[in-house]
Amino acid sequence: METIFNISNSFYIIITIFIIGAIGSLILRNQDKSANIWGNTLALIGSIFGLMFAAAILISGTTPVFNIPSTFPLLSMSFNIDYLSAFFMLIICLIAILCSIYAFDYSKHFYKKYSLGTLGFFYNIFIASMILVVTAHNALFFLIVWEIMSLASYFLVIFERQKSENIEAGSIYFTMTHIGTAFIILSFLLMYSVAGSFDFEVIKNGLINAPELIKNLIFITALIGFGTKAGIIPFHIWLPKAHPAAPSHVSGLMSGVMIKTGIYMLVRIGLILLPNPPLWWGVLILVLGSVSSVLGVLYALAEHDIKKLLAYHSIENIGIILLGLGGAFIFTSAHLYVFAALGLVAALYHTLNHATFKALLFLGAGSVISETHTRNMEEYGGLIKYMPQTAFLFLIGSMAISALPPFNGFFSEWLTFQTLFSAINQFNVFTKYILIFSIASLAFTGGLAAACFVKAFGATFLARPRSEEVKHAKESSLSLLIGMTGLAALTVILGFLAGPISGILKNIANNILNIQNLEPVLSTQTSSVNIQNNFAYVSMPVVLLLIILATAISTGFIFLFTRNNKVKVGRTWDCGSNLTPRMEITATGFSRSFITIFKGILRPQQEVEVEYHDEKSKYFPKTNAITLELRDIYMPYLYNPFQSIVIKFAHIVKKIQVGHVNAYILYIFVTLISILFILAI
């Protein structure tokens, strides 16, 4: 009892630190420097304590349950920090630590432009609300902190309010997140109708004997609601607009952490509150994961806005997480719990990995944007000469997200492959084809992701500068480099220590699925992971050693065959003309072939602008510019028709507003009678 009391006090202290950081920032809103230091310092301290708290829960195995008394009926501000909650809290605080360090210097370019006190207020509230979301144990309390998280992130998205595109992005985000919340509320109301309580533990017990129709409705509404927050296609339209609009350290948190709260609740509802899901739930998740991963990376390939490119890759990686999670659902439905645990380990591992390398990439992009004052990659080029350390760190993030060994992205994607392969022979033909389709989509996604980051890194850092701003760029300041270096180090550590980390995640999966031993399927050691008694085996130190060996051999051969060659430094031969940045392969040019191949899916729009010296020399143009953009097929074919239906329905409903109080009383009376009649049935 004393231990739980101390743990609860520690948790309250963590939340209080963020609240003090928020209030203090608001008080100092007219003093940019003081507000910047105060807000980020308190966010950093709160995140450090939160990380230690979550790690202590995972190490000790303690799962405290505590609450704050409430006088409101049905509302209990209760917390249950089990293994799943502690894991997501650890991710939130880990990324928040490094983003907060980054923010100290990054936020300085907002001085005298925007209120740093406002930024610090919503930033601290945002982190605290995410922690509360993953620890809340009451549905009503969850909805309150979920709404706080959504509103805080909304105000962070529109922080640079002088830019009209940011206001538009915030409006779309606000609309979509509340549409998602409406489905979440419906899901919780369905749970309450069966369990008679909003407490998650009571709901879990009450749903055991619930009708299958109710369970299916709960799952579908939860999938839409939380899938909207996660950015699953086709509910993703807010994500490529909102994430680029926010300050870069906030973008790192939103893309690396916030969207994972949707994944957290899908795991909690689908595998804890509603255990033993039917097969079609897992099939649906696999299909959505496959579509999101493939389309996410295709849209990213076509982007020349660096932050939009990274935002689309968040959709892709959410798809990869769903592939592991979908495998867990399918295997659970077949009572293959050890294989389901393997899928859950893969999904959770990629959740952690994506948080690290995506935050790193957003911070790297923010450093580039702060120096060049544009997000357009066509105006970059040659930045490796001016920002070599940033370029190196961005390269690490690019290799990690491309699933190249020995970085962390490689192992979690490898584990996802093994999940989908592991028990494929246990199912009927239809399910086998779904699993094969998912495996193919994952392989396809991996190849396209590597191509996309060849484009992103090459267009940004290599060749010659394509604008004057690049020539005036300078290396990132100290706090920016510390934040990025910490995340880059994590991509290596999380890959190199795949064995111990898989062991921790195995305990979490065992706890969620209530199984005792995952050893027959997943065996972990200090430096290696073994799947199904050597069906698949990987040792990250061995992989690293092979890479070093291959590099050494290649370098040796190059030296052997070129050792007698004389090196001459001079201008590159260019057929008698001067090389200019216009001769470089641009981001658009690099991705044009991919867009052409998939034009049936992407629906590209191409505009050609030609300028001539005079009207007579039409065969010798002065300039020739090609603009390649993708058509947003979701708005005209899905959201706009839905909007038209809603507007037409609103016009019909408007006719009942006759302006007579008696008529409105009649409406209320008829509604009450109808509700009583339904309840009586």
Segment 102-115, tens digit of pLDDT: 999 999 989 988 99
Residue 671 in this model has a pLDDT that exceeds 80: yes
Segment 549-568, tens digit of pLDDT: 988 999 898 888 887 887 77
**Mean pLDDT, rounded, for 368-380:** 92
CB atoms within 10 A of CB 638: 13
Q: What is the pLDDT of residue 603?
A: 74
Q: Angle at the Cα of 232 (from 230 to 234), degrees rounded to 5?
A: 135
- Which residue shows structure tokens 């605080």? 93
H or E stretch covering 584: none
Q: What is the pLDDT of residue 4?
A: 43
Supply the DSSP symbol for 420. Answer: H
Which residues 6+ apart lie within 8 Å of 494 measured at CB?
A: 352, 353, 356, 408, 411, 501
3-state secondary structure of 168: helix
* Closest CA relative to residue 289, chosen from 126, 427, 442: 442
The region, left, alpha or beta by phi > 0 then psi within -120 to 50, assigned to residue 111 is beta
Tell me phi and psi for residue 291, to 5 degrees.
Answer: -65, -45
Residue 366 in this model has a pLDDT that exceeds 80: yes
Q: What is the pLDDT of residue 51?
A: 96
Concatenating the DSSP letter of every residue in 44-88 gives HHHHHHHHHHHHHHHHH----EEEE---STT--EEEE--HHHHHH
Q: What is the pLDDT of residue 24?
A: 96
**Mean pLDDT, rounded, for 236-243:** 92
Q: Are 78 and 67 contacting, i.e. CB atoms less than 8 angstroms apart?
A: yes
pLDDT class of 521 with cuts at 50, 70, 90: low
Q: What is the pLDDT of residue 660?
A: 75
Q: What is the pLDDT of residue 661?
A: 79
Tell me the C-alpha distance between 464 and 574, whole Å: 15
Angle between helices 587-597 and 279-302 (to 10 degrees): 140
Q: What is the pLDDT of residue 118?
A: 94
Between 150 and 74, the higher pLDDT residue: 150
Q: What is the pLDDT of residue 633?
A: 75
Residue 465 in this model has a pLDDT that exceeds 60: yes
Between 540 and 42, the higher pLDDT residue: 42
Tell me the C-alpha distance between 553 and 667, whole Å: 83
Segment 20-79, tens digit of pLDDT: 999 999 999 889 999 999 999 999 999 999 999 999 999 988 888 888 877 777 778 889
Which residues 6+ apart lie within 8 Å of 450 measured at CB?
A: 402, 403, 404
Return the minimum-mean-pLDDT range out of 177-181, 508-512, 607-611.
Answer: 607-611
Tell me the C-alpha distance between 58 and 503, whole Å: 12
Considering the chain, what is the average pLDDT of its residues? 88
pLDDT class of 478 with cuts at 50, 70, 90: very high
Residue 5 in this model has a pLDDT that exceeds 50: no
H or E stretch covering 124: helix 116-133
Segment 174-228, tens digit of pLDDT: 999 999 999 999 999 999 999 888 999 999 999 988 899 999 999 999 999 999 9
Residue 247 in this model has a pLDDT that exceeds 90: yes
Return the minimum-mean-pLDDT range out of 146-160, 359-373, 656-670.
Answer: 656-670
Q: What is the pLDDT of residue 40?
A: 96
Tell me phi and psi for residue 478, to 5 degrees.
Answer: -60, -50
Q: What is the pLDDT of residue 3?
A: 45
Return the minimum-mean-pLDDT range out of 13-17, 184-188, 356-360, 663-667.
Answer: 663-667
Q: Are 426 and 336 contacting, i.e. CB atoms less than 8 angstroms apart?
A: yes
Of the chain, the end-to-end C-alpha distance in Å amounts to 46
Q: What is the pLDDT of residue 679?
A: 65
Residue 384 in this model has a pLDDT that exceeds 80: yes
pTM for this structure? 0.91
pLDDT class of 573 with cuts at 50, 70, 90: low
Residue 1 in this model has a pLDDT that exceeds 50: no
Residue 625 in this model has a pLDDT that exceeds 70: no
Q: What is the pLDDT of residue 572?
A: 67
- Residue-wise over 251-262: b if at least 16 C-beta within 10 A, else e? bbbbbbbbbbbb
CB atoms within 10 A of CB 529: 25
Amino acid at 364: G
Segment 424-452, tens digit of pLDDT: 888 888 989 999 999 999 999 999 999 99
